[in-house]
Structures are given as C-alpha cells and as structure tokens.
A and B are shown apart, each in its own frame.
Chain A
Amino acid sequence: MKISSLVWVKTILLTAVAAAISLAQIQNQPDDGQWTMPAKNYASTRFSTAGEINVSNVKNLKLAWTFSTGLTRGHEAAPLVVNNTMYVVTPWPNTLYALDLTKPGAPAKWAYQPNPVPAAQGVACCDVVNRGAFYYNGKIYYNTLDAQTVAVDAATGKEIWKTKLGDINQGETITMAPIVVKGKVLVGDSGGEFGVRGWLAGVDADTGKIAWRAYTTGPDKDVLIGPNFKPFYASERGADLGVKTWQGDQWKIGGGTAWSWISYDPELDLIYYGTSNPGPWNADMRPGDNKWACTIFARRPETGEAIWAYQIFPHDDHDYDAVNENILLDLTINGRLRKVLAHPDRDGRMYIMDRATGEVISAEAFAFQNTTEYVDLKTGRIKIVESKTTGFKTTRDICPAPPGGKDWQPSAFSPRTGLIYIPHNNLCYEIQGVQANYIAGTPYVGANVKMYAGPGGNRGEFTAWDPVNAKAVWKIKEELPVWSGAVVTAGDVVFYGTMDGWFKALDARNGTPLWQFKLGSGTVGQPVVYKGPDGKEYIAILSGVGGWSGAVVSGGLNPAADGTAALGFGNAMADLGKFTTKGGMLYAFALP
C-alpha cells in the first residue's frame, strides 16, 4: 500500500472555501443518524456528520454483530437504517430482511420474499446483484431481478404493491436502487448487453402505477424531450436525435439502460442520471453517435421531462456506460460559485459539470487511460485516440477496460476536506469485434474481450480527488479492483472494502491507513454509518464477493480454460479464488 501525496498542502487551502458552501447544500437534509437511502442524501455525498469515530480512535473499532444472508452471489447493496431497524436487500432472490437494532445482536423481525422468477438469473449480465432499497413515507421501495418494483410496509414487511416494469424475455432486469422524489419512485432497467431499449420510469409511490417512462433512444416524444429541453452544446440539439444518430431501426435494440444512480437537486427540481453503453458492443455494427446512450440527463422528477442532456461518449466503442454516480456540490471554481455535479465516468475522467445548464467545467483523468486525449470544453466533444478505437478488428492495450476507470461503485464527498473519494479500477484490455446476432433475450455483444491489470500491475486504486482543481490529492494502490463503495464521516475517516475482504479505514485528509478488519468474503458492498439506539456510532457493510468483477468466484467460472469468461473480466480476475471465497454476511462495527 503506497500513498503518494501529490498536491495536497496547496489543496487544503483552496478546498476550505468550497467545503463551507458544500456543507450548506448537504444541510438541506439534516443528519439524524439514520441512513434512509443508499447514497445517504439526494446530493449523493455518502457523508455522515457522525464524528464519534474519528482518526484517533478508529483503531479501536470492534465487530459489534453480524448477520448471514445465506447466499453466495455478489452482495452489492447498501443496508438502510430507519427507526432503529436495519433493512438488507439480498442478491437474487431479493429477500428483504428487517433487523431489530434495539435487541442484542440485531435479530431479524421479519423477511419479505418477492419471489422473482429463477429464470431472471439467465439475463443478468453481471451477477444477480441488487444495489439496495429506499425508505420513503413508511415504505421500503426496491427492485427485483425479474424487473419488478415493490413497495413494502417498513413496519410489518407486508407487500403494498408490486409493479412489473420490464420483461426478462427481452433481456430486461433491474439491479439498481430506486430513489423516491416528490411521490415518484424512479427506476431504470438493466440489460445493455441484451439489446434492450433503455428507460427510466417514474412510478407513483402510493399506487405503483407507472406515471411516465423516458426512453433513452427513439423519437423525442419517447425520450420525453419537449420545448423545455435546453442542452448546453449544439451537438445535443435537433429533432429526434435518438433516431437520427442510428441507422434504420437499430435504436430499438440500442441499449442505453439506466441501471445505476440517480441524484436530485430540490432547488433546481432536477434529477440526474446517466445511461449505459449502446448495443451491441461492436461499434462498427451501429454507425452514428447512438444517442442517448452514454449520456447524462437532467429531468423533472414529476413528469420525466428532459431539461438538458450531455452525451459523454458518442458512438461508444469500449462499453463506457455513463451510469456512475452524480455527486451534487456547490463549489467555487475560478472565483465563481458553481452548482456542479461531479461524475467520475467509466472513461476514467472526472466530469465537473454545471448542473443547471449541462456545461462541462472540467474533465480530467483520475484513472490511467489512453482512449481519449481531452474533452473540448467549447463543443463538449471528447477527442478520441484513433489507434484505440474498436470494431470489426482486433485492438490491443486499451485503457481503461470495459468496466472503466471506475464502474458503479459509488464515491463519497467530504465537505470537511473538500475531496471526493473514488473507489476504482486500473484495468486495460484487448478486443476482437465479431458479428453480433440479435436474438431477443440473449446477449447482444459481438466482442471477444480479455482484460488485465493496467500499468503498475495493481488492478485497483482508491483516489482522493480535488474537484475544484481537478487533481488527485492522494492515491492508494490496491491489488484487486476496488468494487465496494466508499463512505466518509465528520470524524475525517473514510471507509471502503476490498475484494479480498479487507474493510479499511483511512485518514480522509491524507490517506493514512488507520484500521482494517478481514471480512469472511471479499466485499463489493456499500458501507453505511448510523447511530444505534444506544446512541453509539456504527459502521455497517455487506461482504459477499461477486458482481461482474467477482463472477469468477461467485459464478464458479473457469477462466483458466477461457480468458473471455465473464465478458473478459475472467482473464483479469483468474486468481481471485486465491484471495477469497464466497458467502454473504453483514458486519456492523462500533467502538467498545
């Protein structure tokens, strides 16, 4: 483990200003010690104002209690804590457990079984994961692998409604955690590797009725683009770009799913989310910019109406989904107070964008990459490195690999340090494009891929990023991709876990390792912080290796026989079995 402190002294001074303002944003949602949504707040900061556990005492952190899910696939969910109850959603079969925090050892009060069909497991591209639930008005909302959204009474575990949003026979599943805004449960589909037509839906929180659905591709009326659509860049303006940037009917099977995070700014009344890769992966099969895949959208939560859009990676040829989290911050950049969103993208760049207008303020690389030169801030267009493009050919030594400089694993932001803490990958790959054959309900990819570690040989990194100066402040190298989320507290401690099962606490200011604990299985989960009924601060995380990166172990794959296993991730993770075994378990830690 090596820490390189790059520019960090200078940064503290500059970020101090930014920090004060960002805090105002976050204080819109006072921290009552609960954890009611995976990203902690609508701004998606994953910052807890709890300060009992701090840099000087975190070394004494002890295991408080555990809970086994009895499952062996990837556990990517964030547990929730509401009214002294912890809610845990498991991977398929998506059981919801309510654990009673007022009793010693937090025994289960009830379990709710949505019974998603087993066949859904066959159309989940990257393990049968679920990224968590959302608490709103006495109900727990979450999604099932077979593309349903459920509302469950948070007190009793009784199902209130269940709505089918997608069709597994078209390759649609749902793995994301919904968010609820102004009475609408916002849900997006997975299936970008199956030639589905991606969408985000608004479902009435009380009745389960679908209020609106915004498709990613197709004519403006389906994308919910109307007279109020005012994108910043000229390239995003024009009628029916969701049709015209494709050939023929390809947009109907063009991907662009919304399978990851959604943020919300109550003042601007805008939700923000990104869309996935276009399908198939073989980009020569779909000439054009392929809108609105790999795009960040700003929409109205009540109607879904699009207000602006920015396509990060037109004609994506590396599976660089734009689905990663958008952290909403108010920062002073070049002397101007800007309402920004910070988006660490799969392409390895951190996009700092004006979230009112969709203008890109900066887009510097936080991970090693050789596919792009820069983002032209005038046109918004990314400058591609020609020699790294893919299609009906073999291209080698492309960085980052399809899971990106960073995948879905969410970052955290501390208003105290002004830094964004990014758990991420350091992977490169080679690809051979082949003909993809569209058969509904089966993969639509057309690529043979093999990934491997990027420069330095470490497959993961944990980076503290200064969003004002667009620079890394410190970095920690990790042997394996860091596939867990991060959380940071007012005690200036930042937590994340590794795929070999180390749950770690670092000094958020400089990355000094302060504490670690070996979990039973590698973790790909999301750590959360809460105040227990005893008034103490707790940190909780699910272990249970899996997900795309961990499929080698959770799916029992055979990468030794075939480097293209798990869409090529098998090659990079062939040795994962030496580091960890599978098994889902929740761990809660506290000071003695």
Chain B
Amino acid sequence: MRSSAAIACCIFLVTSCQREKRDFRPAPSRVAVFGDAARESPLQPGGSQPAQVVSNPYDKSAYAISEGQRLFDWYNCSGCHAHGGGAIGPPLVKQDWVYGGQPENLFDTIVKGRPNGMPAWGGRIPEYQIWQIVAYVRSINHEEPVSATPARTDSIQPQPTLHSVVDGATK
C-alpha cells in the first residue's frame, strides 16, 4: 500500500517534471531571444505596444541561484566582471544597464553577446544554466528574495580599510 503510493507519487513527479521541462525551459528562451520580450529601448514609436512576457523559470529558486553563482565562476563571467564590480566588462551590480537588467534582457545578452566585447555564449552554455546564471545576476542586485540568495564569499566583501596592516614588515 505504502510502496504503491510511493510509486504513484514518483510517476506523478516524473511526468510533471517532464511536462514542466517542456513548458518552461525552451519557451521563455525562445521569446527572450527571438520575440519582442527583451526590449532594449523604452521608446515605442506610435504609442506603447504590448510585448510578450517572459519570466525566469528559476526565479526565487535557492538551488538555481547557488548553481548560477558556481557557473558564473565556471564560465569565467567573473574573469571579466569580477563578482559584480566589473573589470574588463562593466559592473553587473548596478542600475544603469546598457542592454536591460530584466531576466529576459540578461538572457538575451548572454546568448547573443554584445558588440563591445561580451562573448556570445549561445550554443556553449545550456539554456537552463543560462537561466540559473540570470537568477544569480538578479540576486546580486537584490532582485531575488534574500532567503533564496546564497551567502557571498569573503573575497567579494569590499575592504573597509584602504591601508596595509603590515607597516612593521621588513623591507
């Protein structure tokens, strides 16, 4: 009795997972990349037009955000953007997004790249991982619930002091 309930539950989970997979992985990606969801300009000639709406399937998911944090290092995003403060590429902790800071914009930026040196990652990073990275980038901008956001590593805390503590060291 108990085991058959467990099996039924499993079947339900598996099928529901598959269904969800079909529903929310490819669809928002297509709209973000090919649709009009990822607008980069608020100017709409002739008056405002309704746009397709995309939401990140991993929104508010603690697991996905912490995966995104790991992948942000693994794909060397951190090599060019540091941990959000920027380096070769612009900071990713900010308000003044050039290509938009909504999930669909971030997804679009990562897939297509941007002309002044942002690599095009489409085909290289699987779509679900891109959404995880998007969730992470949103989280460092406090656009994800604190409860779902992983702790920042020590290395990204800004240094309160600008000065050395080794004045006594040998020359």
A interface residue numbers (CB < 8 A to B)? 118-125, 193, 365, 368-370, 397, 399, 428, 432, 434, 437, 439, 441-445, 448, 450, 452-457, 551, 555-567, 570-572, 574-575
Residues in B with CB closer than 8 Å to A453 are 162-164
Q: Which of B25-33, B37-45, B83-91, B129-137 contacts A (4 or more CB under 8 A)?
A: B83-91
Main secondary structure of the interface of A (DSSP, over half): loop
With contacts A454-B166, A558-B93 known, what are 20 further pairs, Cβ within 8 A? A119-B116, A119-B117, A120-B117, A122-B118, A124-B88, A369-B171, A399-B164, A428-B166, A442-B75, A443-B88, A444-B76, A445-B79, A453-B163, A457-B164, A557-B87, A558-B94, A561-B158, A564-B78, A564-B155, A574-B162
B127 smallest CB distance to A (angstroms) = 18
Residues in A with CB closer than 8 Å to B93 are 558, 561-562
Please state if B155 and A450 are interface contacts (CB–CB under 8 Å).
yes
Residues in B with CB closer than 8 Å to A120 are 117
Given A118-B117, A120-B117, A455-B166, decide whether A563 and B86 contact each other with a Cβ distance below 8 A: no
Please state if A365 and B171 are interface contacts (CB–CB under 8 Å).
yes
B3 within 8 A of A: no
- Choice from B80, B156, B167 contacting A442 with Cβ under 8 Å: B80
Given A399-B166, A557-B87, A571-B159, decide whether A565 and B73 contact each other with a Cβ distance below 8 A: no
Please state if A432 and B165 are interface contacts (CB–CB under 8 Å).
no
The list of the 6 closest CB pairs from A to B, nearest first, reads A122-B117, A443-B79, A562-B85, A565-B85, A448-B155, A558-B91
Closest to B89 in A: A122
Please state if B85 and A559 are interface contacts (CB–CB under 8 Å).
yes
B interface residue numbers (CB < 8 A to A)? 73-76, 78-80, 82-91, 93-94, 115-119, 140, 153-159, 161-167, 169-171
Given A121-B117, A125-B88, A437-B74, decide whether A452 and B79 contact each other with a Cβ distance below 8 A: no
Q: How far, in whole Å, are A193 and B76 apart by their CA atoms in the complex?
A: 12
Q: How far, in whole Å, are A428 and B163 apart by their CA atoms in the complex?
A: 9
Residues in B with CB closer than 8 Å to A572 are 162
Q: How far, in whole Å, are A572 and B75 apart by their CA atoms in the complex?
A: 26
Q: How far, in whole Å, are A452 and B152 apart by their CA atoms in the complex?
A: 21
Q: How far, in whole Å, are A190 and B53 apart by their CA atoms in the complex?
A: 43
Please state if B169 and A567 are interface contacts (CB–CB under 8 Å).
no
Q: How far, in whole Å, are A575 and B167 apart by their CA atoms in the complex?
A: 22
Closest to B87 in A: A566
Please state if A448 and B116 are interface contacts (CB–CB under 8 Å).
no
Q: How far, in whole Å, are A574 and B73 apart by their CA atoms in the complex?
A: 23
Q: How far, in whole Å, are A445 and B115 apart by their CA atoms in the complex?
A: 24
B7 smallest CB distance to A (angstroms) = 41
Given A119-B117, A122-B117, decide whether A564 and B167 contact each other with a Cβ distance below 8 A: no
Please state if B154 and A432 are interface contacts (CB–CB under 8 Å).
yes
Residues in B with CB closer than 8 Å to A566 are 82, 85-87
Given A118-B115, A370-B170, decide whether A558 and B86 contact each other with a Cβ distance below 8 A: yes
Closest to A193 in B: B79
Closest to B154 in A: A432
- Among B75, B84, B115, B159, chain A packs the most CB atoms within 10 A around the CB of B159
Given A442-B76, A448-B156, A563-B158, decide whether A556 and B86 contact each other with a Cβ distance below 8 A: yes
Q: How far, in whole Å, are A444 and B89 apart by their CA atoms in the complex?
A: 15
Residues in A with CB closer than 8 Å to B83 are 448, 562, 564
Residues in B with CB closer than 8 Å to A444 are 76, 79
16 examples of A-B residue contacts, CB within 8 angstroms: A122-B118, A369-B171, A397-B164, A432-B154, A445-B79, A450-B159, A452-B159, A457-B164, A555-B87, A557-B91, A558-B93, A558-B94, A562-B93, A562-B158, A563-B157, A564-B82
Q: How far, in whole Å, are A121 and B117 apart by their CA atoms in the complex?
A: 5
Residues in A with CB closer than 8 Å to B78 are 564
Q: How far, in whole Å, are A122 and B162 apart by their CA atoms in the complex?
A: 29
Please state if A121 and B116 are interface contacts (CB–CB under 8 Å).
yes
Residues in B with CB closer than 8 Å to A365 are 171
Given A122-B118, A558-B85, A562-B83, decide whether A455 and B157 contact each other with a Cβ distance below 8 A: no
B156 smallest CB distance to A (angstroms) = 5
